[in-house]
Chain A
């Protein structure tokens, strides 16, 4: 193969120096993936969600960081680990994928991108590089019109055949051998060499909290609205319990037409809405206990105070452009 397809990183290491050198700078504090990111596949494509807190040993370095980085029109990567490492390697991956697309006339599949990233990170295994990413993308399917030539017409016909073939067997999550699989696809890549294909991943210190909420609700047949609300609830639960996750939630939805980004939502609103719900309930109980029989009929209604607060929260949420969210929208099992 010509050297242009080599996988070596662009900066050269000094010859003869072992990678785990004796005079490397020690880490200032033990690194952990202080974040919550998640991604899952459903009938409407791939949904990726993440919080926006960037922490540095107990200090919130940035409350509005971006942990989901788009790589190209149909591929998005969530990042966890060291922010600098993740941002750099995502950019290197984006550059390599674009070069592949220009050379071969088609986008590299998500699995191929995952393999590429994994091989690029392999020379740094054993060093303190820390990248744990999930690559969420849509393979095959739509292609740009101006890239179609005679050769690619036949290739695209094959793809169409493969797509119908694959979609009929796609429901059980089975692999389609011999042809490029098209549709939503999700891979987890880690700098220690792990590369896993799956339908649901959550990465970071808040991931256990998110996993259980996702395990409850994620199914293939979800609508987009339901999937968004489950992803949001999962990130909210993780930020509720984990100190290193918080602030806002970012949501990206990848379909055959590419990725779309939803407005960033501040989870503070969700927290206050839930507190309101809890205090509204307990106020109702007090009314029942201490007042006389005449007031017991009021037990099912909101008191004036909690009603006013609910209205205030609703108007605030409309201001932020969060539509269609009311007190009952968060998923209860």
Chain B
């Protein structure tokens, strides 16, 4: 390349640079790796991110604790999938935003939630959206929820131990019906009927486990999702703001509501102490 010659760069080192020189390979029509064999970010030589992070999480040293400070929940029921998230973005004890958007609309049939590091979530889920779009253009049919979640989890596995922080739920409706997968920065990928992520998840689990029935009506399901987030924000310091709720139906998702949690709590706790 011209720039290499001008800068006097040694060509034998070219092979050691990973992603930067290989982006043109990714877009060929017969590429089936979906962006997972080649890493998105080049890791500089001599730096070992996973070793550095291991030394950080030992007792007695500096402890970098990556908490997923949010509450998100999603559950499958007879009439689809309900996704509900809060909207507080915190940086330590500072509330960076009270109206953060923690749901990414990948396509009209696929949604992704975000918890953990906001930057990591936004970047990787947008990358997932790009891969899903490319899949549809190449294969003329929409990607399944299982495949989309597998793509995301493989991306996470490529950087395992290097300090990514992301807990996400991929929800959609494909040929197999409603789909719900939980994908983690460790590479965990689980299919299930109900998940909740973030440090407020335990509060949400209590409420949703208590009121969940497979044959709920749509209104009951909306109320359950609202209550789960509202009670979690009531007890968890890192969750708050508004409840953003989506309903994944057979013909796509709809955004149900955006309600302030303080008003919800006030409504629910009327008549209490």
B210-A233 in contact (CB<8A): yes
Would you list the 4 A-B pairs with minimal beta carbon distance, nearest first?
A208-B202, A212-B206, A209-B206, A212-B203
Q: A210-B206, A220-B272, A333-B227 are in contact. Are A215 and B211 (CB under 8 A)?
A: no
Of the candidates B78, B235, B273, the one having the most CB atoms from chain A within 10 angstroms of its own CB is B273
* Cα–Cα distance between A285 and B215 once the two chains are bound (Å): 9
A218-B205 in contact (CB<8A): no
The contact sample of 15 A-B pairs, CB cut-off 8 A, is: A173-B273, A199-B273, A211-B206, A212-B235, A213-B210, A215-B234, A215-B235, A216-B207, A216-B268, A219-B271, A219-B272, A220-B273, A241-B206, A285-B215, A333-B211
> Is there a chain A Cβ closer than 8 Å to B105's Cβ?
no
* Cβ of B40 to closest chain A Cβ, rounded Å: 35
Name the A residues within 8 Å of B206 (CB-CB). 208-213, 234, 237-238, 241
> Is there a chain A Cβ closer than 8 Å to B232's Cβ?
yes
Name the B residues within 8 Å of A332 (CB-CB). 210-211
* Cβ of B219 to closest chain A Cβ, rounded Å: 13
Name the A residues within 8 Å of B82 (CB-CB). none
Name the A residues within 8 Å of B207 (CB-CB). 212-213, 216, 333
Q: What does DSSP make chain B's interface, helix, strand, loop or mixed? A: helix
Q: A220-B272, A332-B210, A332-B211 are in contact. Are A241 and B235 (CB under 8 A)?
A: no
* Cβ of A21 to closest chain B Cβ, rounded Å: 19
A221-B232 in contact (CB<8A): no
Residue of A211, A277, A281, A285 touching B235 (CB-CB under 8 A): A211
> Is there a chain A Cβ closer than 8 Å to B213's Cβ?
yes
Name the B residues within 8 Å of A303 (CB-CB). none
A209-B205 in contact (CB<8A): yes
**Which partner residue on chain A sits nearest B204 by CB separation?**
A212
Chain B interface extent, by class: 20 to 34
> Is there a chain B Cβ closer than 8 Å to A6's Cβ?
no
**Which partner residue on chain A sits nearest B78 by CB separation?**
A285
Q: A240-B209, A281-B215, A332-B211 are in contact. Are A218 and B272 (CB under 8 A)?
A: yes
**Which partner residue on chain B sits nearest A234 by CB separation?**
B206
* Cβ of A257 to closest chain B Cβ, rounded Å: 24
Residue of B78, B205, B227, B271 touching A216 (CB-CB under 8 A): B227
Name the B residues within 8 Å of A238 (CB-CB). 206
Name the A residues within 8 Å of B232 (CB-CB). 212
Residue of B78, B235, B269 touching A208 (CB-CB under 8 A): B235
* Cβ of B242 to closest chain A Cβ, rounded Å: 18
Name the B residues within 8 Å of A210 (CB-CB). 206
Mask for A309-333, Cβ within 8 A of B = 1, else 0?
Answer: 0000000000000000000001111
A237-B227 in contact (CB<8A): no
Q: A208-B202, A209-B202 are in contact. Are A237 and B209 (CB under 8 A)?
A: yes
**Which partner residue on chain B sits nearest A207 by CB separation?**
B202
Name the B residues within 8 Å of A284 (CB-CB). 215
**Which partner residue on chain B sits nearest A242 by CB separation?**
B202
Of the candidates A199, A210, A332, the one having the most CB atoms from chain B within 10 angstroms of its own CB is A332
* Cβ of A331 to closest chain B Cβ, rounded Å: 7
> Is there a chain B Cβ closer than 8 Å to A4's Cβ?
no
Residue of B78, B205, B224, B268 touching A241 (CB-CB under 8 A): B205
A282-B235 in contact (CB<8A): no
* Cβ of A47 to closest chain B Cβ, rounded Å: 14
A241-B273 in contact (CB<8A): no
Name the A residues within 8 Å of B224 (CB-CB). 333
Name the A residues within 8 Å of B210 (CB-CB). 213, 216, 233, 237, 330-333
Using a CB-CB cutoff of 8 Å, which residues 144-187 of chain B contact chain A? none
* Cβ of A138 to closest chain B Cβ, rounded Å: 18
Q: A233-B210, A237-B209 are in contact. Are A209 and B203 (CB under 8 A)?
A: yes
Name the B residues within 8 Å of A237 (CB-CB). 205-206, 209-210
> Is there a chain A Cβ closer than 8 Å to B231's Cβ?
yes
Of the candidates A199, A216, A240, A285, the one having the most CB atoms from chain B within 10 angstroms of its own CB is A216
Q: A215-B234, A216-B227, A333-B227 are in contact. Are A241 and B202 (CB under 8 A)?
A: yes
